[in-house]
Structure 1
Amino acid sequence: MTRSDLVNELAARFGQLTHRDTEFAVKTMLDAMSDALGRGHRIEIRGFGSFSINRRPPRMGRNPRSGEQVVIPEKLVPHFKPGKALREAVDARTPPDAAEAAAAGDKSGAA
């Protein structure tokens, strides 16, 4: 689902809102979440999941072209941890045939 898909879905569900109002609401919510993460805050949406910032420590890497070692600086990256309700909802919607095929593929690929 893309941002425009989300706007269209919300506009369809809430007929009293115009498409422009719905687009503004989605933009405002996403901007608020981005700002909170940018300030180092944690976001928790009960039943959905939580967003936080993870620190990747500095490390030594290698330039693939020259092979020379390069220092990769520390990074702060966003991290999403799904909530229990979301994990269960996704698991319940997984088609049994696809799960069995994936498990069979894992077994045959390992041998």
Structure 2
Amino acid sequence: MKYFESMTKAEIVARIAKQTGAEKEVVMNVVEAFMESVKGAMIEGNEVFLRGFGSFIIKHRAEKVARNISQNTTIVIPAHSIPAFKPSKAFADMVNGKNNKDKKL
């Protein structure tokens, strides 16, 4: 079983700053602006497509009936939308260890 570490925003900023030579404060502002742009677009009902990386999409969930097991009751969960990320095929293949060294993200 693989152990996966997670990265924080601060670690991403530090990595980008090291790779680009840019100041951390500038990189933090860019990362924040990117996240706000994606959130704003999705709140407006738009999806965001980044070729070679993936898509930030809106998934629509239909109304459904569910059970509360502890109280033995049924509840109705209303239809709703949720934000989701769908990686590109090349990105997903890289994560799954398939040999795609010829393709760049």
Identity, % of aligned pairs? 30
Show the counterpart of 2:65.
60
DSSP-derived class of the 1:10 partner: helix
1 CA distance for matches of 2:98 and 2:13?
Answer: 23
More helix by share: 1
Q: CA deviation at 1:50?
A: 1.0
Show the counterpart of 1:13. Answer: 19
TM-score if structure 2 supplies the norm length? Answer: 0.79
Which of 84, 87, 95 aligns to 1:82? It is: 87
How many pairs are equivalent? Answer: 93
Give the aligned CA root-mean-square deviation in angstroms: 1.7
What residue is the counterpart of 1:99 in the other structure? none
Scaled by the length of structure 1, the TM-score of the pair is: 0.75
**Deviation for aligned residue 1:77:** 0.8
